Chain A
Amino acid sequence: MDEQGIFSKMVEILRAYTKDPSILDKATMETHILNDLKVNSARLVDVIIKCEDVFGITIEDDDADKIGSIGDAVGIIKIKLG
């Protein structure tokens, strides 16, 4: 899956956890999940689980801790998918 494909899927995953999903329509790789999308920090755990299910991968806690922006998540997922 290319970067754009992973990005699109990430945006869809985040829709359920974002207070105002319309912000996602203008999301970029730089969009910050907590600061820009106002996702509750406790819900990052749920986003990670959803990513694991959607992409069929396992994201270790150390990797999860590095995710700030959508681009950070896309990068990690891309590596996992090989």
Chain B
Amino acid sequence: MKKRVVITGMGVVAPNAHGLDNFEEALRGGRSGIRFIPELQELNFACQIGGVPQGFESTRKSYFDHEKLLSLNDNIGYASVSAVDAWTDAGFTMPDSDDDRVDWDTGVIVGSGVGGMDTIAKTVVPMVNEGKVRRMGSRIVEQVMNSGTSARIAGLLALGNQVTSNSSACSTGNEAVIEALWRIRMGLAKRVLAGGSEGASPYIWAGFDAMRVICRKFNDQPEAASRPLSATASGFVPGSGAAVLVIEDLESALERGARIYAEVLGGAVNCGGHRMGGSITAPNPEGVKRCIRAAVSDAAISPEEIDAINGHLTATFADPGEVKNWAAALERTPGNFPYINSTKSLIGHCLGAAGAIECVAVALQLSKGFLHPSVNCEDIHPDITEFKDKIPQKCMDYPELKTIAKAGFGFGDVNSCLIFKKWEE
């Protein structure tokens, strides 16, 4: 029999809130974290808005000593604060740096989509170009290596199981949770801190701006800019931040009397192979459907048990297609379709952090029995009008809510889908 796997701790640094209580309040209130960013205007970006965690400079100073702060760029800073929050939320204490004991049963899988681009852009490139390599100092590699986030977290918490950083574009955060699920099921770890993070940097967002896939029509109305499922959606709003979830073997969680937010019933990842309409930037609909079905099958539930969907839903032309893929994969009609919302409507698309932050939103909704509003879609896209009643425009109390499916689809035609269930004794 498969080991059962649950969520026992969470930490989140999102554009609209830091910390679980604040995040829940922001979700319930439909509070947007999207702001005008003057630097993007100065740099001639078409999109001059973004989702950036507010007041993070003082947050990180309250978490880490002067020595550690020197090595924390945005990406690693968001991840580190989220990890510390998740760890203490799960009932553990922070180890002393002089304490040599290592927790060999706990690992870290926290990745990012692009990573430490701010360090590369602001330090590495100018100093190398000026012939000043000798003066760059010792802190570059640890901030730009792809595993910088997980490595830092392992050191903060003295964790000795597998420590790695995955990367699968916008699917990264979900994929980390699925990797954690598998590792625990295999009996290779008791718990894994899983999640994703992404820095806030024009150098990360520039490529997306150049592709014209990010929102350029709402610079004067930042809070209305992220419009998943809307007829007037005009591209995603870039976001940043991090979230980390403590994914734990149920036995271990029960043994130590941990509070459980939700059960991770199952998950699946795949790739559409850039065929059948898929490409490096677009999903193969067949791949998406297969991934959703595989997750449902792994969870050993039937599709009609799914009460709600937290979609990938970024506010691009792909949203209506995503809704139809869900309907086809779950064999549901508009009449019996699950509720569907987009956390990105509130925080933008946090790239490598998106899946992780949205998994935290899912776990909170399940554990507290509500669905947050999917804002800015009062004008539902004409292709999905018949699903209108299934898209909560206001926060919805939903005490009977049991099962949520969460998906992420990323550049590279990669897909991930998770099935979470409310925890009941």
Contacts and interface: CB of A to CB of B under 8 A. Distances in A.
Interface string A27-71: 000000000000010111110010000000000000000000000
Nearest to A52: B135
Contacts of A49: 135, 137
A40 B97 CA distance: 13
A46 B67 contact: no
A45 B137 contact: yes
Contact of B66 (A16, A43, A46): A16
A54 to B, nearest CB: 14
Nearest to B67: A19
A22 to B, nearest CB: 12
Contact of B137 (A19, A21, A46): A46
A3 B137 CA distance: 26
Interface SS of A by simple majority: helix
B137 A16 contact: no
Interface SS of B by simple majority: loop
A16 B67 contact: yes
A19 B98 CA distance: 10
A46 B97 contact: no
Contacts of B65: 19
A73 B66 CA distance: 23
Residue with the highest number of chain B CB atoms closer than 10 Å, among A18, A21, A43: A43
Interface in B120-140: 135, 137-139
Nearest to B141: A42
B196 to A, nearest CB: 27
A52 to B, nearest CB: 8
Interface string B61-91: 0000111001000000000000000000000
Contacts of A16: 66-67, 70
Contacts of B137: 45-46, 49
Contacts of B97: 19
A40 B70 CA distance: 13
Nearest to A17: B67
B67 A42 contact: no
A55 B97 CA distance: 33
A17 B67 CA distance: 6
Nearest to B68: A19
Contact of B138 (A18, A19, A21, A43): A43
Contacts of A18: 67
A45 B133 CA distance: 12
B43 to A, nearest CB: 30
A23 to B, nearest CB: 13
A42 B70 contact: no
A78 B97 CA distance: 35
A21 B66 CA distance: 10
Contacts of B66: 16, 21
A21 B139 CA distance: 20
Nearest to B70: A16
A18 B68 CA distance: 10
Contacts of A40: 67
Nearest to B135: A49
Contacts of A17: 67
Contact of B139 (A19, A44, A46): A46
A45 B97 CA distance: 22
A30 B66 CA distance: 25
A42 B138 CA distance: 6
A42 B136 CA distance: 13
A18 to B, nearest CB: 7
A36 B290 CA distance: 59
Residue with the highest number of chain A CB atoms closer than 10 Å, among B135, B137, B138, B139: B138
Contacts of A21: 66
Interface string A1-26: 00000000000000011110100000
3 cross-chain pairs, A with B, having the tightest CB-CB distances, nearest first: A42-B138, A45-B138, A46-B137
Interface of B: 65-67, 70, 97, 135, 137-139
20 contacts: A16-B66, A16-B67, A16-B70, A17-B67, A18-B67, A19-B65, A19-B67, A19-B97, A21-B66, A40-B67, A42-B138, A43-B138, A44-B138, A45-B137, A45-B138, A46-B137, A46-B138, A46-B139, A49-B135, A49-B137
Given A42-B138, A45-B137, A46-B139, 9 more contacts: A16-B66, A16-B67, A21-B66, A40-B67, A43-B138, A44-B138, A45-B138, A46-B138, A49-B135
